[in-house]
Amino acid sequence: MDNKYRYGISRAAIALVTITDGVYSYGTPIAWPGATALTLSPKGSIEPFEADNTDYAMIDKSEGYEGEIETAYIPAAIEAAILAMQEDSKKVAAEYSGQVYAQFAFLAQFEGDAHNRRIALYDCVVTARPEIAAKTGKSKTPDTTKVKFAARPRASDNLVKRHTKADTDTTTYNNWFTAVQEPVAGA
């Protein structure tokens, strides 16, 4: 049965990307607990190709997505992996100018009324350092942090995103957060 609606995000994770001779491989996913929101806006356009005095074909010039994850906290493992934070021997984290941010896959789950949809974005990179903010008050409501990133088409095959469906293979669905799931050849 298909979902009628979705109502939340959970199980966010990242997996670092390594590219060797144009072939993408992914590290073991690193959990990113505390996701409160995910926003992804399409980047690029769909343009008509005119022939026979009509819009003969629509050409997708997708450049992926731009977005942000809002989270309760950024764990140290995520800071080190995708925000280039470096820790010294005294366990103090430092940010340096001029860093090149690592590429990563982004994984998450959208809660649904019938089944939970799992998503993967295959070639992501941070596009802005997170803002630093805190406020005082008697409320114990936690502050959140937003990390902006781009999900680009993978250079090897233009793959941007995949997601599970109600009838997705059980093994693929169950292993979604243990390893980045690649498309099946010939599919």
Closest CA to 20 of 85, 103, 119: 103
Structure pTM?
0.89
Q: Is 93 helix (H, G, I), strand (E, B) or coil?
A: strand
Query: Using 50, 70 and 90 to split pLDDT, how confident is the model at 106?
Result: very high
Task: Assess contact for 105 and 120: CB atoms under 8 A.
Answer: yes
Query: Using 50, 70 and 90 to split pLDDT, how confident is the model at 83?
Result: very high
Q: What pLDDT, on a 0 to 100 scale, did the predictor assign at position 140?
A: 80
Rounded to the nearest 10 degrees, how much is the dihedral formed by the CA atoms of 89, 73, 143, 91? -10
Average pLDDT over the chain, rounded to an integer: 91
Q: Is 68 helix (H, G, I), strand (E, B) or coil?
A: strand
109-140 confidence digits (pLDDT tens): 998 876 899 999 999 999 988 888 888 878 88
Query: Using 50, 70 and 90 to split pLDDT, how confident is the model at 30?
Result: very high
Q: What pLDDT, on a 0 to 100 scale, did the predictor assign at position 187?
A: 56
58-74 confidence digits (pLDDT tens): 887 788 999 999 999 99
Mean pLDDT calculated for residue range 156-161: 94
Amino acid at 107: L
According to DSSP, the residues that pair with 163 across neighbouring strands are 119
